[in-house]
Amino acid sequence: MERELQELLDKKACEEVLMRYARTLDWLDREGQASCFWPDADIDYGFYSGDGTGWVETVMEVELAAPRRWHMSGGALIRIEGAKAQSECYGFTVSMSTDDDGNSVDSLFGGRYLDELEKRGGQWRISKRRYILDFSYQLPNGLEDLVKSGFSLHTLQIQQPGHPDYREL
């Protein structure tokens, strides 16, 4: 029973790394993003291939350029093998940008993360990641029009780190 309990605790810790990855991108939390990857991690997104340290620098610049962004990781399957784990996780990303005519557009990306994680010094982080893009769509941005019309739901404009609504979890 003790081995099964430790496996569940390790799976939960790995799952939290995968969820923290998405959240720290949305809130522009560079330190939080770095805590998801070992500095020597082998990262391959296609547009970036390198180590974990370089990944954080690259992706934060990409995210800072978007007026709004939203990431969701879910559906993770994780297999623990001692201090190593393999994972496959699905992800959605929406990123707002402006087209050539000045209109706000949202790009929707869907794909999967093929990860290896390692537990070092009692902490789980991603040691290897390969991202596979499954689909992408461009859509007109409806949120901007809703906000302008006085729509009464809260919206966030996170354009720099340290947003007052961000809480460390």
| Residues constituting the chain | 169
Calpha distance 153→150 (Å, rounded) = 9
Q: Give the residue among 69, 92, 72, 52 at the shortest CA–CA distance from 163.
A: 69
DSSP summary character for residue 161: S
pLDDT single digits (tens) 24-72: 999 999 999 999 999 999 999 999 999 999 999 999 999 999 888 999 9
Q: Give the residue among 67, 114, 62 at the shortest CA–CA distance from 89.
A: 114
Q: Which residues, at least 6 apart from 64, have a Cβ–Cβ distance to it below 8 Å?
A: 28, 159, 160
In the chain, the domains with their CATH numbers are: 2-148 (3.10.450.50)
pLDDT single digits (tens) 85-138: 999 999 999 998 888 888 888 999 999 999 999 999 999 999 999 999 999 999
List 114's β-bridge partners, or say none.
88, 130
H or E element at residue 43: strand 37-44
